[in-house]
Amino acid sequence: MSLNDAVVYRNPVVEDAEEIVAFYNRVGGETTYLSFTENEYPLDVDMQKASIISTEQQPNSVMFLAVADNQIVGIGTITSSHKVKARHCGELGIVVTEKFQGQGIGSELIRRLLDWSKTNGITTKIQLDTRKDNSMAVELYKKFGFQIEGELKNTTLIDGQYYHLYVMGLMI
Ligand SMILES: CC(C)(COP(=O)(O)OP(=O)(O)OC[C@H]1O[C@@H](n2cnc3c(N)ncnc32)[C@H](O)[C@@H]1OP(=O)(O)O)[C@@H](O)C(=O)NCCC(=O)NCCS
């Protein structure tokens, strides 16, 4: 049995809020590639509960959890605006905890996010930004057909060093 057979992919329920917040706060410290650092995730548990409920009600936003042994090991999201001129664009976010990286979970989350987006009747474009030097993520996105649409210079600053962001997009 491969690892991926043991991973359950599902949408969150409000009871997951505490673990989701803890997960994001922890992985923020595992990698510098996320936009937030350890314990810097912007939502608290109540806000996360509200977000789960409101996401469920939005036709063009979704969250998928990857769960192994009853623990969250990865999260993928599509976040979209309700605005008429922008609601077709979904912003993709993804993170897999260190120990579970490189085993296909990120790919499976993206596959599910894209499949879901193709059938919600609204989303026609997926976009994201990623650090230019995050070659694993850039290759992963390219594997799914994402193209580099632009580069934002010096948008991340870590210990005095500037990093550039790629803006990537995919019409679905
Ligand atoms: C990026 C991330 C989500 C990928 O998830 P993952 O479960 O590790 O990814 P997978 O195992 O499904 O896929 C790995 C893919 O990345 C690419 N990849 C893997 N190792 C690589 C390497 N050493 N160099 C370049 N690309 C690599 C390949 O395209 C690979 O697909 P393949 O196995 O079919 O060839 C995960 O590593 C992560 O959470 N990193 C930290 C947070 C982060 O960077 N998030 C994205 C911010 S934009």
pLDDT in tens, 116-164: 999 999 999 999 999 999 999 999 999 999 999 999 999 999 999 999 9
pLDDT band at 2 (very low <50, low <70, confident <90, very high): low
Q: Quick one: CA torsion of 119, 123, 125, 128, rounded to 10 degrees? A: -100
pLDDT band at 1 (very low <50, low <70, confident <90, very high): low
Strand partners, 8: 67
For the cut 70, the answer to whether the pLDDT of residue 4 exceeds it is no
**Do the beta carbons of residue 113 and residue 93 sit within 8 Å?**
no
Short-list 112, 116, 145, 115, CA closest to 128: 145
Give per-residue pLDDT as tens, 15-53.
999 999 999 999 999 999 999 999 999 999 999 999 999
The pLDDT score that the predictor gives to residue 77 is 98
Query: Per the structure, how many domains does the chain have?
Result: 1
The pLDDT score that the predictor gives to residue 5 is 72
User: Three-state SS for 162?
Assistant: strand
Q: Whose CA is nearest to atom 21 of ligand 1?
A: 136
For the cut 60, the answer to whether the pLDDT of residue 91 exceeds it is yes
**Do the beta carbons of residue 55 and residue 62 sit within 8 Å?**
yes
Short-list 32, 30, 79, 90, CA closest to 55: 79
Short-list 86, 76, 84, 70, CA closest to 11: 76
User: Three-state SS for 168?
Assistant: strand
Give CA–CA dist 68/6, Å, rounded.
6
Residue-number span of the structural domain to which 25 is assigned: 3-171
User: Three-state SS for 128?
Assistant: strand
Short-list 66, 135, 51, 121, CA closest to 90: 121
For the cut 70, the answer to whether the pLDDT of residue 88 exceeds it is yes
Ligand 1: residue of 35, 107, 114, 127 to mutate (most ligand atoms within 8 A of CB) is 107
Tokens of 97: 């905890």
Q: How many A from CA of 122 to the centre of ligand 1?
A: 28
Ligand 1: residue of 96, 99, 103 to mutate (most ligand atoms within 8 A of CB) is 96
Q: Whose CA is nearest to atom 44 of ligand 1?
A: 33
The CATH number assigned to the domain holding 141 equals 3.40.630.30
